Amino acid sequence: MAFIPHTAEDVEQMLGAIGARSIEELFDEIPAAVRAGPLAGIPEPLGEMAVGRLMMERALADGMSSAFIGAGAYEHHIPAAVWQLATRGELYSAYTPYQAEASQGTLQIIYEFQTMIASLTGMQAANASLYDGASAFAEAVLMAVRINRRSRSQRILVPRTVHPHYRSVAHAITSYQGIRLEEVEYDSRTGRTPLAALAAFDGEDLAALAIQQPNFLGVLEDVDGLSEWARARAIPIIAVVNPISLALLKPPGAWRGAADIVVGEGQPLGVPLSSGGPYFGFMATRMEHVRQMPGRIVGRTVDLAGREGFTLTLQAREQHIRRGRATSNICTNQGLMVTAATVYLALMGPRGLKRVAASCHARAHELLDALTGIAGVRAAFTSPYFHEAVLKLDRPAGPLLAALARCDIVGGLDLAPHYPELGHALLTCATETKTSADIAAYAAALRAVLQDAQSAQHAPAA
């Protein structure tokens, strides 16, 4: 879709149509005190050539780093066909199509996407996507409160093993609606949420339980045990999952206490890391809750002549119809990212996705074996993990990561700000993009960096 700016003539014509002489006159009712004026710190405009050069210099300054950081956003190989197809004119739209008669291609893509997400998660229905994993989690919290009509408490159990950013976004979005997110502690030896931590809430009025699988610390939770606890008490279950991992792990719909709402970050499915966005969130649920699901849903139907077609459905609870009493203020989706994800999933197929997941798992084990072979580095937990794990170090992770960055290695995430009780801890990840040589290079660099830190410590004061 081309970007077509207004010409001076266009502006002139539009002003003429409404009888204003200038843009200044059009806006003259806005008091001077509330006008923004020129923005401080924003440089003068540049020509295209100069902008291209500036961006190239900035990109080169980043280097060609080898990234072993995950923590919610994951580097995966994206086949060239994904973005070649996603940016075709027929499909290239960032917005949900209202006009079914003009948007069958986009609508069918979204419909196929929903079907794939429902199938991956073991649910019956999925929406057309949300903004990202964190806001999808917040929407799941709001939805859980709506579907649990037995509970008056609006208290949601959220283990500390759920992504810290997801927890803070959910808090920001839901706290002013009277919803309370109650932390559940994890076992510092296993990195899991123990059933005993839930037992403390036995008999209390709870609106929902959230479970992240694999959890933020990379560990596989006892999803059967946790979900069964909630199911036995008729507490709705929110599952937060990594879509790639679902090719190997039991889908939340098949947990012993089947999940009611499944959400997650869709970025691993064909969307580049791209400095943090745009990404997309996904959400799926069971049919019994489908009317409480926020966002757009595309349905398959037939026209008057009996021909198959696709259209937006279940819109009656959306904001443009229900105003303040709408199910959610989300009335859109991440069309372009979803198009890429649909192409990615179609190219991979169930077998391809399983190979990607298995390769991630194998690489993460190789990484952990290599790194824990270094003196002063050990695995924090004993539990199984997918493609990410916590390392305990004998000195603070922050300076070590900075030293690794100078060797063009992004070693992982320093957990100190989020989990200070873990001591010097680092969350590290390997996906199918890492070769044995990459892993060996990381291990060699970490060994060198640790040795440097050690000798600096023991060096006699100058």
Partner 1 sequence: MSEIPADLKYTKTHEWVRTLPDGTVELGITDHAQHALGDLVFVELPELGRRLAASEPYAVVESVKAASDVYAPLAGEVTAVNTALATTPEQINQEPYGTGWMVRLRPADSAALTRLLSAQQYAEHVGPEEN
Q: Write down the least CB distance from residue 320 to partner 1, Å.
A: 11
Question: In terms of DSSP bridges, do strands 377-379 and 208-213 run parallel, antiparallel, or are they unpaired?
Answer: unpaired
Residue 325 found at the interface with partner 1 (CB under 8 A): yes
User: In this complex, which beta carbon is closest to partner 1, that of residue 165 or of residue 317?
Assistant: 317
Q: Write down the least CB distance from residue 290 to partner 1, Å.
A: 10
Q: Write down the least CB distance from residue 419 to partner 1, Å.
A: 40
Residue 322 found at the interface with partner 1 (CB under 8 A): yes
Distance CA 434, CA 72 (A): 17
User: In this complex, which beta carbon is closest to partner 1, that of residue 200 or of residue 316?
Assistant: 316
Q: Which stretch in 8-16, 36-44, 319-327, 331-339 sits in contact with partner 1 by CB under 8 A?
A: 319-327
User: In this complex, which beta carbon is closest to partner 1, that of residue 233 or of residue 291?
Assistant: 291
User: In this complex, which beta carbon is closest to partner 1, that of residue 172 or of residue 321?
Assistant: 321
Q: Write down the least CB distance from residue 327 to partner 1, Å.
A: 9
Query: In whole angstroms, how far apart are CA 295 and each of 50, 126, 177, 278?
Result: 41, 10, 19, 18
Build a one-symbol-per-residue string for 147-166: x at contacts with partner 1 by CB under 8 A, - elsewhere. --xx----------------
Q: Which stretch in 32-40, 214-222, 320-328, 399-407 sits in contact with partner 1 by CB under 8 A?
A: 320-328
Q: Strand order of the sheet with strand 413-414?
A: 377-379, 388-393, 425-429, 413-414
Closest CA to 264 of 341, 191, 180, 360: 341
* Structure-block tokens of residue 44: 């003068």
Q: Write down the least CB distance from residue 318 to partner 1, Å.
A: 9
Q: Write down the least CB distance from residue 57 to partner 1, Å.
A: 54
User: In this complex, which beta carbon is closest to partner 1, that of residue 319 or of residue 372?
Assistant: 319
Give the footprint of partner 1 on residues 280-309 (CB under 8 A): 291
Is the distance from CB of 141 to CB of 181 less than 8 angstroms?
Answer: yes
Give the footprint of partner 1 on residues 175-214 (CB under 8 A): none
Q: Given candidates 321, 362, 375, 440, which one binds partner 1 under the rule CB under 8 A? A: 321
Q: Write down the least CB distance from residue 234 to partner 1, Å.
A: 12
User: In this complex, which beta carbon is closest to partner 1, that of residue 315 or of residue 332?
Assistant: 315
Query: What number of chain residues touch partner 1 (CB under 8 A)?
Result: 8
Q: Which stretch in 63-71, 136-144, 318-326, 353-361 sits in contact with partner 1 by CB under 8 A?
A: 318-326
Q: Which stretch in 67-75, 274-282, 313-321, 412-420 sits in contact with partner 1 by CB under 8 A?
A: 313-321
Peptide bond into 396 cis (omega under 30): no
Q: Which stretch in 81-89, 94-102, 315-323, 398-406 sits in contact with partner 1 by CB under 8 A?
A: 315-323
Q: Which stretch in 65-73, 202-210, 214-222, 317-325 sits in contact with partner 1 by CB under 8 A?
A: 317-325
User: In this complex, which beta carbon is closest to partner 1, that of residue 76 or of residue 286?
Assistant: 286
Neighbours of 307 (CB within 10 A): 8
Q: Given candidates 165, 233, 317, 447, which one binds partner 1 under the rule CB under 8 A? A: 317
Residue 316 found at the interface with partner 1 (CB under 8 A): yes
Q: Write down the least CB distance from residue 208 to partner 1, Å.
A: 17
Applying CB under 8 A, which residues contact partner 1? Answer: 149-150, 291, 316-317, 321-322, 325
